[in-house]
Chains A and B, each alone.
Chain A
């Protein structure tokens, strides 16, 4: 592509960043980001979110958080996907309170959680033994007319099974 003088755009770069991140190759993803910025192409919420997802995948949630903050400092507004990634990241390293904080922040900013956001939080709550809170969130989903999916129910089922076995 580059050899043929076809200039990659924001989408091409974002696709590559995402590709590297999904394989956990965050360092290379950062190189792509540097390359795009050198060409004067500003990363958008999709690019930043992919990078955050990559850091979460390799358990460097603090770095994902720093990208999340950098993004808003650069005037790029976080969307439901960015929040879901951070909430999932925090939940996976058992920082459920941080995840809850972000969930409340979404509500304040009127960014509506989707089934992915809720499932991430519910899984975090379940794995930290806060099943009643998790069930409350399932009720809230129903109240919003949102249907929990197989992933949501699996988290709940897992937590309930583990609870009765002890």
Chain B
């Protein structure tokens, strides 16, 4: 039986990698599938952004957020909550508030 992995399967794999602390590998997987195997979606981006924020890599998370916006993948409440949480974790409360109100 031959089948192709879809957005959900790749999303699950990305989530699994993030859950075991392999955020970098999750990002690599996103890069590998991007546009070739499947179109990345908001869930994949959210998962990696959230994982980066929990690892205190808020700048990387913000870059990924900018990338998804540039690709016209609309961020949702989960994306924003993850980033706001990340800014709070690293003590950048002002950025958290900015994100909450404006960005």
- Rank and list the top 5 A-B pairs by shortest CB-CB distance, nearest first: A19-B88, A12-B81, A15-B85, A1-B80, A11-B81
User: Which residues of B have CB within 8 Å of A2?
Assistant: 100-102
Min CB distance A90 to B, Å, is: 26
User: Which residues of B have CB within 8 Å of A22?
Assistant: 88
How many chain-B residues does the 8 Å CB contact rule pick out?
18
Query: Considering only CB atoms, which chain B residue lies closest to A25 in the complex?
Result: B93
The digit string for B77-103, where 1 denotes a CB below 8 A from any CB of A, is: 100110011011001010011011111
**What secondary structure prevails in chain B residues at the interface with A?**
helix
6 more A-B contacts (CB under 8 A) besides A6-B77, A23-B93?
A1-B101, A3-B101, A3-B102, A6-B76, A18-B88, A19-B88
Q: Cα distance A18–B84 when bound, in Å? A: 11
The digit string for A2-15, where 1 denotes a CB below 8 A from any CB of B, is: 11101111011001
Please pick, from A12, A19, A23, the residue contacting B80 in the complex, using a CB distance under 8 A.
Answer: A12
Min CB distance A35 to B, Å, is: 10
**What secondary structure prevails in chain A residues at the interface with B?**
loop
Q: Which residues of A approach B to under 8 Å, CB–CB?
A: 1-4, 6-9, 11-12, 15-16, 18-20, 22-23, 25
Cβ A1 vs Cβ B88 within 8 A: no
Q: Which residues of B approach A to under 8 Å, CB–CB?
A: 75-77, 80-81, 84-85, 87-88, 91, 93, 96-97, 99-103
Q: Cα distance A61–B28 when bound, in Å? A: 47
Please pick, from B84, B91, B101, the residue contacting A15 in the complex, using a CB distance under 8 A.
Answer: B84
Can you spell out 20 A-B residue pairs with CB atoms less than 8 angstroms apart? A2-B100, A2-B101, A3-B102, A3-B103, A6-B80, A8-B77, A8-B80, A9-B81, A11-B77, A12-B77, A12-B80, A12-B100, A15-B88, A16-B84, A16-B100, A18-B88, A19-B87, A19-B88, A22-B88, A23-B91
Q: Cα distance A25–B75 when bound, in Å? A: 28
Please pick, from A7, A19, A23, the residue contacting B84 in the complex, using a CB distance under 8 A.
Answer: A19
Cβ A7 vs Cβ B91 within 8 A: no
User: Which residues of A have CB within 8 Å of B101?
Assistant: 1-3
